[in-house]
């Protein structure tokens, strides 16, 4: 039987391919052919959808080729060649840096995209399970004003009565927030000019895609309210 972390990965891949529940997919994975053989079969089956690589990756072939020298089909061939679908996320990214001379940022991007293409994670999903929400907003104000809008005195104007606790904060750089439902929010602030700045946030720890989708929609609305508040 495969190790627990490998088993979960194979079960998720089968769920995406067959539409089975987690319990049914796990039963078939455990009771069927060996894990590595199933992983190979999953890779071979997904080769039929190579035209969807860019869509699954969330980035065009032209963009990734310009920065890394390969399009998505090229990266899939290269990573399949080292059996990356059997490796942990960290190991894939490390081998991209060491063996393919890819920068740290692009190593992470290519790894995540490959895992999506190979059915090892869904969009917004962490490799080990669970879902994250990533949102950003650029506003026409100085970074100090943007950062201050997240203070306890001002955030109610655009964030409403959300219950949260600030764990750590570095002025005009970042905040770490504990959300009322046990999830966490990492917030980063970037200066884009003398009167232009950007907030990027990652809301982490949702157990299901539906919950993450609701949070994504809510953050879209709240960040639009933030922009309106700052323009007033």
Domain ranges of the chain: 4-117, 131-231
The angle at the Cα of 59, spanning 54 to 61, to the nearest 5 degrees, equals: 60
Q: What is the pLDDT of residues 115-147, one digit of tens each?
A: 888 888 877 777 667 788 889 999 999 999 999
How large is the average pLDDT for residues 91-115?
A: 92
Residue of 97, 113, 102 whose CA lies nearest to 60: 113
* Eight-class DSSP state of 52: G
pLDDT band at 156 (very low <50, low <70, confident <90, very high): very high
Most confident listed range (97-106, 118-127, 142-151, 204-213): 142-151
pLDDT band at 38 (very low <50, low <70, confident <90, very high): very low
Higher-confidence residue: 179 or 105? 179
- CATH code of 131-231, in short, is 3.30.530.20
Per-residue pLDDT at 65 exceeds 80: yes
pLDDT band at 84 (very low <50, low <70, confident <90, very high): very high
pLDDT band at 187 (very low <50, low <70, confident <90, very high): very high
In which order are the strands placed within the sheet that holds 131-139?
A: 131-139, 196-206, 184-193, 174-179, 164-170
138 touches 224 (CB < 8 A):
no
Residue of 57, 232, 214, 224 whose CA lies nearest to 136: 224
- Percentage of the chain modeled with pLDDT above 90: 56
- Percentage of the chain modeled with pLDDT above 70: 79
pTM of the model: 0.57
How large is the average pLDDT for residues 15-29?
A: 65
Q: Hey, what are 92's tokens?
A: 């894939």
> What is the average pLDDT value for the chain, to the nearest integer?
84
Question: Using CA of residue 78, residue 82, residue 85, residue 90, what is the dihedral sign?
Answer: negative
Per-residue pLDDT at 220 exceeds 90: yes
Residues 6+ apart with CB under 8 A from 170: none
How large is the average pLDDT for residues 199-212?
A: 90
- For residue 180, the tally of other CB atoms under 10 A from its CB is 9
Q: How many helices (H) and strands (E) does the chain have?
A: 11, 5
Residues 6+ apart with CB under 8 A from 49: 56
Q: State the DSSP H helix or E strand holding residue 170, giving kind and residue range, or none if neither.
A: strand 164-170
């Amino acid at each position: 039987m495969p190790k627990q972390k490998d088993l979960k990965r194979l079960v998720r891949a089968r769920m995406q391919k067959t539409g089975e529940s987690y319990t049914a997919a796990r039963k078939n994975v455990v009771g069927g052919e060996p894990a590595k053989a199933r992983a190979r079969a999953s890779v071979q089956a997904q080769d039929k959808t190579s035209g969807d690589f860019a869509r699954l990756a969330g980035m065009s072939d032209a963009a990734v080729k310009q920065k890394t020298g390969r399009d998505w089909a090229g990266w899939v061939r290269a990573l399949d060649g080292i059996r990356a679908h059997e490796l942990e996320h960290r190991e894939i990214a490390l081998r991209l840096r060491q063996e393919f001379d890819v920068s740290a940022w692009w190593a992470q991007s290519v790894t995540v995209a490959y895992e999506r293409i190979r059915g090892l994670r869904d969009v917004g999903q962490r490799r080990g399970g669970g879902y994250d929400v990533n949102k950003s907003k650029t506003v026409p104000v100085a970074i100090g004003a943007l950062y201050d809008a997240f203070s306890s005195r001002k955030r109610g104007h655009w964030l409403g009565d959300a219950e949260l606790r600030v764990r750590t904060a570095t002025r005009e750089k970042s905040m770490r927030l504990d959300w009322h439902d046990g999830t966490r929010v990492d917030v980063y602030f970037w200066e884009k000019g003398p009167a232009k700045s950007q907030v990027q946030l990652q809301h982490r720890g949702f157990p299901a895609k539906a919950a993450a989708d609701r949070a994504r929609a809510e953050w879209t609305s709240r960040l639009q309210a933030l922009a309106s508040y700052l323009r007033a």
